[in-house]
Amino acid sequence: MTPRKRFAIFDSDTHVIEPRDLWEKFLDPEYRVLGKSALWREEGKFGCYLKINGTVFRDTDNVNIPRHAIWRPGMTWDAIGDLDPQTRHAMNEGAWNPEVRLRDMNAMGVDQAFLYPSWFAEGFPLVKDPDVAYALARAYNDWIADFCKAAPNRLFAAAVLPLQNMEFAVEELRRVAKISCFRGAFIRPMFVEGRYLNHPYYEPLWAELADLAMVAAVHATPGLNNPEWTSHGPFIEKMKDRLTQVQLRGNAGGGPFTGGGSGAFTVNGTPLGHSLSPILGYWLDNYLFVASTLLGYGMMNRYPTMKVVVAHGKATWMEEVLEKFEASTRVIALQHYYPVRTDTEELWKAGRVLLGFDADERGIRKLPERYSAKVVWGSRYPRDDTSGAWDAIEILSQANVEESCVARMLGGNAVQQFGIEPIQFVDNESV
C-alpha cells in the first residue's frame, strides 16, 4: 500500500553528480581545455580522481561503492553497509538524470527539492584562474537550469558563483536571479585565498543576496583536497590513517588482550575502518560559519532581511552556539571592534536563518518547540546516508510531534524561505 501524507514535503538538501556533458556541452568552447584542467572528475573502472588546477586528488574510498550516489529508494543504511566491496556497484542515475530523479522523489514521498552540486562543491572554490572559474560557473548553472526544466514546479537549485572575482560573482548572481529555478547561491564555508567568509571582501555578496532576496545556501563539503584546515574533513581524513587501533593478541586463550604460556604477544595496528569526516566535518564547519560570520561578524545585524540556509550537519548544535556566544559577548571586548549584539538569543529568533536537520536528531524530537520555526529537512539524496520523507514522518510521529509542526519542519519552512509555491503529489498527481 502506497503511504500517504496530508502535507507537502520539500527536500532542502539533495545533490546532483555533474556529468561529462557539463564540460563538453555547456562549457564555452574556448574554455573547454582550460576548464577540464581547472576542474574535472574522472570516474574510472579501476580508480577515481578529482582534478583541481591540474593536480590530481585520488579517491581513498573503495571505488566499487560510490558513496556519493549509491542510495536508491527502498535501500537501508544496513543494506548499504552490507554491499560486497569486491563487486562494482552502479551509481544511481537520478544523480544526473532528472526523469529518474523525479521517479525517486515520488517513491521517497518528496514533492519538491533543492539541488546542490557535488564535484563543483568540493573543487570549484579552489579553482585559481578567475576567468576559468567564471566560465565553469556559467556552465554549471546552465546545466542545472536545464536539469530543472524537467519539472519547473518541483526542481530548484543553488547557483554556483565565481567568488574568485567578486565582480564576476555579482554579475553571475544577477543573471541567475532572473532564472526561475535558482532560489539561492551555493556557499561553501571555507577559506579561499586566505580569506574566510567574514572578510570584508565578501561584503558585496551579502548585500546583493539581500537585495535580490536570494538565499545564501551554505553547505559544508569535506573532501581530500582542501589545503586549509577547513573544511575539517581533509584534516580528519588525513588523521584517520594515524589513529591506529592497536590490538594485542597473546599466544593462549582468554581473549585478544590476554597472553599465556610464554607470555609472548603480537601487536596488530590498523587504521580506523571508516571515514570520520562525515561525522565531524559538517558540524564543525557549520558551527564556525554561524559563530564567526552570522553572529561574530554581525552579518545578521547588518542584513536583517537576508535569508540563509545552513544545510547538512545537524541542527541541535545551535543551542550550544547561542549559549556560549551570548556569554562571550558580555564578557569579551568583541563588540569594541565592530557592533555585536549581546542579545544573541533574540537576534537568532528574529533572523531569517534556518538550519538543515535530520529527522533522527534526538534534540529536535524532544524539543520540537525550540526548532520547529528554524529548521528545514534534507534527505541527502543520493548519498549513502540518505533517508526518505516517509522515514522522517514516521520518526517524528513516533516522538509525538504534532502534525502541524512536522509539516512545518518537513516543508512549510523551506518553501517560505526559498519563496516557492508548495505543491503536493499523490499517486503522481499534483494536488
Q: In what order do the strands lie in the sheet with 55-58?
A: 39-43, 48-52, 55-58
Whether 329 is covered by a domain: the verdict is yes
Instruction: Give the tens place of pLDDT for each residue, 365-386.
Output: 888 988 999 999 999 999 999 9
- C-beta of residue 69 within 8 angstroms of C-beta of residue 100: no
CATH number at residue 217: 3.20.20.140
Which residues 6+ apart lie within 8 Å of 390 measured at CB?
Answer: 3, 108, 109
pLDDT for residue 102: 97
* Count of C-beta atoms within a 10 Å radius of residue 62: 12
pLDDT for residue 233: 67
Whether 59 is covered by a domain: the verdict is no
Residues 333 and 292 in one domain: yes
Cell of 85: 566491496
Whether 259 is covered by a domain: the verdict is yes
Q: Which of 399, 355, 400 is nearest to 375 (CA)?
A: 355
Residues 211 and 106 in one domain: yes
Residues 302 and 394 in one domain: yes
Residue numbers of the domain that contains 201: 96-224+276-430
Residues 127 and 262 in one domain: no
Task: Give, for 46, the enclosing helix (H) or strand (E).
Answer: none
Whether 413 is covered by a domain: the verdict is yes
Instruction: Give the tens place of pLDDT for each residue, 104-127.
Output: 999 999 999 999 999 999 999 999
Span 141-152, mean pLDDT?
Answer: 98
Instruction: Give the tens place of pLDDT for each residue, 241-275.
Output: 677 655 555 554 444 433 344 444 455 566 666 66
Residues 145 and 213 in one domain: yes
Which residues 6+ apart lie within 8 Å of 280 measured at CB?
Answer: 232, 236
Residues 394 and 418 in one domain: yes
Whether 326 is covered by a domain: the verdict is yes
Whether 287 is covered by a domain: the verdict is yes
How many distinct structural domains can be found in the chain?
A: 2
Whole-prediction pTM: 0.90
Residues 209 and 260 in one domain: no
Q: Which residue has the cell 525550540?
A: 370
Residues 265 and 285 in one domain: no
Residues 256 and 327 in one domain: no
Residue count of the chain = 431
* Count of C-beta atoms within a 10 Å radius of residue 321: 18
Q: Predicted confidence band at 354 (pLDDT cuts at 50, 70, 90)?
A: very high
Residues 108 and 213 in one domain: yes
Cell of 186: 551555493
Whether 216 is covered by a domain: the verdict is yes
pLDDT for residue 344: 84
Residues 189 and 282 in one domain: yes
Whether 355 is covered by a domain: the verdict is yes
Residues 217 and 100 in one domain: yes
